[in-house]
């Protein structure tokens, strides 16, 4: 079946997109507003897009009312934020923080979370997160009703129990986002597939008849 997005509603296109482009990592973002209050919100239109320099990209939509979300406003105002990675022990707290809290009510308090100081940015990270990325805004670009945030990672925070020799990461299993409205996945079921060289492939490729 072929589905032409130009003939579908925005809601149906969203449903197709988020159910097909999976799994997606979750950026659980802490940001600061102009009065210094901390906002906490998860976003799954998120990924790393380069290693030199180390950039991440986040797509932030608007509220149902059409107004910009606090996270986008805060990042543009302060120029920094922290991506906290979501592991299964934090899934309930992440889900609480996704609710549409009033501006004067803290997601951190509701989710019973604590913060810890960052090193290179003003925005604090989540103390309970096993891994966090301090980020500085590189570019904010409006794309339709979304705000595309590109930022550079300037500091990693990784729990000691995850670090092996030569900075190898062991037993880190963040939650992934699957389909809408509320499907997630674990990343504990894994397998290894070494990358082939061309010469190795030639030795095993079927011969033409």
58 inside domain: yes
123 falls within a domain? yes
Within a domain: residue 209? no
Domain holding 101, by residue range, is 5-204
Residue 104 has a pLDDT of 78
pTM: 0.93
Range with the poorest average pLDDT among 87-91, 100-104, 149-153: 100-104
Confidence of residue 68 (pLDDT cuts 50, 70, 90): confident
Mean pLDDT across the stretch 170-196? 93
Name the average pLDDT for the chain.
94
Domain count of the chain?
Answer: 1
Specify the long-range contacts of residues 126-129, CB closer than 8 Å, at least 24 apart.
Answer: 126/28, 126/30, 126/40, 126/82, 126/84, 128/89, 128/90, 128/93, 129/28, 129/84, 129/85, 129/86, 129/87, 129/90, 129/157
In a domain, residue 135? The reply is: yes
Classify residue 51: in a domain, yes or no: yes
Contact predicate 125/84, CB 8 Å: yes
Report the CATH number at residue 71.
2.30.110.10
Confidence at residue 64, expressed as pLDDT on a 0 to 100 scale: 79
Over residues 124-149, the mean pLDDT reads 97
């Amino acid at each position: 079946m072929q589905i032409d997005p130009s003939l579908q509603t925005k809601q149906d296109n969203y449903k197709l997109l988020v159910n097909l482009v999976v799994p997606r990592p979750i950026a659980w973002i802490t940001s600061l507003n102009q009065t210094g209050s901390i906002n906490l919100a998860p976003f799954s239109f998120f990924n790393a897009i380069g290693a030199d320099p180390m950039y991440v990209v986040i797509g932030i939509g608007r509220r149902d009312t059409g107004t910009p979300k606090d996270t986008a406003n805060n990042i543009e105002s302060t120029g920094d934020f922290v991506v906290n990675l979501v592991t299964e022990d934090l899934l309930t707290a992440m889900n609480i923080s996704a609710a549409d809290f009033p501006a004067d009510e803290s997601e951190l308090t509701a989710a019973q979370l604590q913060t810890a100081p960052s090193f290179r940015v003003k925005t604090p990270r989540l103390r309970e997160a096993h891994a966090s990325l301090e980020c500085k805004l590189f570019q904010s670009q409006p794309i339709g009703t979304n705000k595309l945030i590109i930022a550079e990672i300037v500091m990693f925070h990784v729990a000691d129990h995850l670090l092996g020799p030569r900075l190898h990461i062991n037993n880190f299993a963040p939650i992934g986002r699957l389909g809408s409205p509320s499907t997630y996945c674990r990343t504990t079921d894994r397998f290894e597939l070494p990358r082939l060289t061309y010469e190795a492939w030639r030795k095993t490729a079927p011969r033409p008849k």
